[in-house]
Structure 1
Amino acid sequence: MTGNEALSADLYQLTMLQGYHQQRMNDIAVFELFVRKLPACRGFLVAAGLEQAVDYLRNLRFTPADLDWLSGTGFFKAEFLQRLRHFRFTGDVHAMPEGTVFFPGEPILRVTAPMPEAQFVESRLINIVHFQTLIASKAARSVLTAPGKTLVEFGFRRAHGGEAGIFAARAAYLAGFSGTATLGAGRRFGIPVFGTMAHSFVQAHPSESEAFEHFARANPGNVVLLIDTYDTEGGAQKAVELASRLKSSNIPIKGVRLDSGDLADHAHKVRRILDAGGLTGTTLFASGNIDEYTLARLQLAEAPIDGYGIGTRLDTSEDAPYLDCAYKLQAYAGIPRRKRSEGKATWPGAKQVYRRFDADGLLAGDTVTLVDAPCAGRALLQPVMRDGELVEPLPSLDRIRAHAKNQLEQLPDYLRVLKDARGYPVVISSELHALAETIDREQGLIPGPKSAPARPLS
């Protein structure tokens, strides 16, 4: 937790808080985080980032330095800033477990807290949950496209900042990747780390053969050679020649890496060279602007590639760089609230999502309804925090990863495709429709006699 974490927020969060403070609007509010619609060619999303969101909420504080800076902006009254010295998150959180598959219109996280607390955390919660969900959802597509392959997150250098690179590695591993090339993510989250060599190492030596041998003797337990600096098949042949020289030192060549050109064609040729040279156990690893679409083409070509480094297009979610993600007020002071903005209307009240399964255990449909409305299916939002503290310890990353694997196994075939995924049925319950209509009539937004006032939330 850094000293300026509290300032990872938009200015309007604090200007609104000053207004709430002045009017003493401290009643309980309910906010929900959800995604309005899927990006093109996507059939589902994978929830991620809850652990970091909870860490933010538990440790949220304004430091003296934060308050001094805020005072200097001229926006805030001294008495309000004094109140912020004691600002803490004391509310409740319900959320879908990380790794859960979800769909548009479904709340994946619900905050119930005094209005100033619930309002203020909006920006950072979206920032954390949106990004990891974005990356986990894209990574899951590669996992489904290339089952059984070693997939390594390779994108730190082109991620949009250091935190993004670390969180992308976590999100990809959560979704089923084998590991990351990023040391910081390995240390922080216990993710397996993978690494080979760069072209510069080869170029720095008088010959490719000498570079390979120096690397192998320096890293005898992890000899993965990048063979395409000059000529891919020529590099493969040099790897075979090196293997015979290393035999007396008991140093095996673990793998070779391809990073350019027609990967399928090179892979077939290199595999033949390695096998003919007795390196049948040496793996082929490929990188270079790979994403799920590239994987699909390589799978179709039956390329004999054992693993892939997937970087830029994953860590930037190149084909869908953002989600239409929102965090909206659903109730205040016990009364359901509803936004009616054109194209951005919300369903009022605190909600739960229930999931149904078919006879084969595959996802069959979801229902979004009020938290106290009876509904068949499995409730997806679970209690995470109560009164600002964890209800129980959060699951380990390995447990989250196992949950995500189970979720992907439950996807029906029509959601596994990379393009034109058919819409998954998400039903808005009759209770929610009725409540929305009641609120709209109360506000004079639809014609007809006013109904009984919207009932307070239980």
Structure 2
Amino acid sequence: MFVRKLPAGRNFLVAAGLEQVLDYLENLRFSQDELTWLAGRFPSHVIDYLDNLRFTGDVHAMPEGTVFFPNEPIIRITAPLPQAQLIESRIINLIHFETLIASKAVRSVLVAPGKTLVDFGMRRAHGAEAALLAARASYLAGFSGSATVLAGAVYDIPLYGTMAHSFIQAHDDEIVAFEHFARSHPENTVMLIDTYHTENAATKIVALADKLRHDQITINSVRLDSGDLAEHARNVRQILDQGGLKKTTIFASGNIDEYRLHAPIDGFGIGTALDTSSDAPALDCVYKLQEYAGQPRRKHSEGKAAWPGRKQVFRGFDAENCMMGDVVALEENDLQSGDPLIKPVMIEGRRVQDKMSLHDIRKKTLKSYANLPKRLTTLDNASIYPVRISEAIHRLADQMDTELLYNKSY
């Protein structure tokens, strides 16, 4: 599986979703209800085959969190053809989506270092599974956490939340609502202050803070969710500072994307733009046969030709450990300088190493950003990162093209 080209506005992609693929392959089997449904559509010998189907192949892949580029294999499946073909759609579904979201999330991570970034997108995500996987992918890429509670239970992702406008509206007095909320959440008091008038609410927060202080309750943060966030943030910061709440942070949400992470705001909840990757909602990724029965294969469709053979990707670094360029090479007899990126992760249907925690994957991913060329870390389109296809692959492709031209059996 590889991506043919970068979408507009992306200088690189971040691999994600491998863990879900491995879980899927480990548990691949048909239930009796599924076999019964299929029995009316396929002959009995096919049903018998599916009844005993288990994934027995090998998986080589880039580790999650790896930065990659077009034409570089993300994952390679080596298995009997029925197995390798059956799993195509689900593999693309998982790798594509999490990679898409991680590659969107990293843009915010790189332009807002030190800021609290929270996935706020569940309500606009394309389904419950998408919301859960978006929380995972964005955390892997460097987000601080998610407002999707199930992500905390399933992936141990830190959870963030504030309060609802409806909670404020259900009270006759806004400051009474603030106090009720503070006393019910004394360890995590984050106030939503834009239900009516943002600056007036900030003034009420200052007054309430004095009252709560006697009970050792601190207002940790205020949240802005509408209007000119930068202007409101400047005004609110001044009100809070003058009221002695210099440690109370400002958190903003509401149609936020990577282009709006500015002003005196300490954290952001990013929703629709993240969970739908609204500016680039799909990657041109494909899963193609490149070897069969030990022989290379090459799709030659117009505009969709694929490089043949099993491959490795080698990454070069300069003296400062900054990425210089990649080489896509044949796995055998085509050694190149640089670090090999594709690793064995499953052999004969079994994992070859213990699962890495999502927290450890995130730490490793964040550390790897230091190796990116500076030009790739901005929101502007940068000059293309060099990815070279090895001479051995070119020769193999030319040889296969010549055979295709003169072999009338094709």
* 1:400-456 deviation line (CA, Å, top 9, x unaligned): 11121122111111111212221100000000000001111111179xxxxxxxxxx
Alignment partner of 1:57 out of 9, 25, 28: 25
Unmatched 5+ stretches in structure 2: none
Deviation at 1:374, TM superposition (A): 1.2
- Runs (4 or more) in structure 1 with deviation over 4 Å come to none
Alignment partner of 1:223 out of 168, 189, 194: 189
Alignment partner of 1:442 out of 365, 383, 403: 403
TM-score between both structures, scaled by the size of structure 1: 0.88
Separation of aligned partners in 1, 2:363 and 2:191: 32
Separation of aligned partners in 2, 1:244 and 1:281: 14
Decide whether the 8 Å contact of 1:100 with 1:403 is kept in 2: no
Deviation at 1:394, TM superposition (A): 2.4
Separation of aligned partners in 2, 1:48 and 1:369: 22
Q: Which SS does the other structure have where 2:179 is aligned?
A: helix
Q: Which SS does the other structure have where 1:328 is aligned?
A: coil
Separation of aligned partners in 1, 2:110 and 2:191: 28
* 1:9-41 deviation line (CA, Å, top 9, x unaligned): xxxxxxxxxxxxxxxxxxxxxxxx111100001
Counterpart residue number, 2:361: 400
Deviation at 1:345, TM superposition (A): 0.4
1:271-350 equivalent positions in 2, closer than 5 A: 271-295=237-261, 298=262, 303-350=263-310
Separation of aligned partners in 1, 2:348 and 2:185: 51
Counterpart residue number, 1:132: 98
Deviation at 1:249, TM superposition (A): 1.0
Residue identity in the other structure for 2:336 = C
Q: Does residue 88 of the first structure (1) align with residue 51 of the second (2)? A: no
Q: Does residue 385 of the first structure (1) align with residue 346 of the second (2)? A: yes
Counterpart residue number, 1:370: 330
Q: Does residue 420 of the first structure (1) align with residue 398 of the second (2)? A: no
Cα RMSD of the aligned pairs, angstroms, is 0.9
Counterpart residue number, 1:182: 148
Decide whether the 8 Å contact of 1:94 with 1:381 is kept in 2: yes
Separation of aligned partners in 1, 2:244 and 2:43: 76
TM-score between both structures, scaled by the size of structure 2: 0.98
Residue identity in the other structure for 1:352 = Q
Separation of aligned partners in 2, 1:386 and 1:333: 18
Deviation at 1:108, TM superposition (A): 0.7
Identity %: 62
Residue identity in the other structure for 2:35 = L
Separation of aligned partners in 1, 2:97 and 2:202: 39
Counterpart residue number, 1:5: none
Unmatched 5+ stretches in structure 1: 1-32, 447-458
Deviation at 1:248, TM superposition (A): 1.2
Q: CA 1:445–1:191 in structure 2 vs 1: closer, same or farther (change >3 Å)? A: farther
Separation of aligned partners in 2, 1:282 and 1:294: 21
* 1:100-127 deviation line (CA, Å, top 9, x unaligned): 0000000010111111111111000000
Separation of aligned partners in 2, 1:61 and 1:375: 39
Counterpart residue number, 1:22: none
Alignment partner of 1:207 out of 168, 173, 194: 173
Deviation at 1:77, TM superposition (A): 1.1
Q: Which SS does the other structure have where 2:83 is aligned?
A: helix
Separation of aligned partners in 1, 2:303 and 2:70: 14
Separation of aligned partners in 2, 1:388 and 1:50: 14
Separation of aligned partners in 2, 1:329 and 1:436: 14
Alignment partner of 1:46 out of 6, 10, 14: 14
Q: Which SS does the other structure have where 1:79 is aligned?
A: helix
Number of residue pairs matched?
406
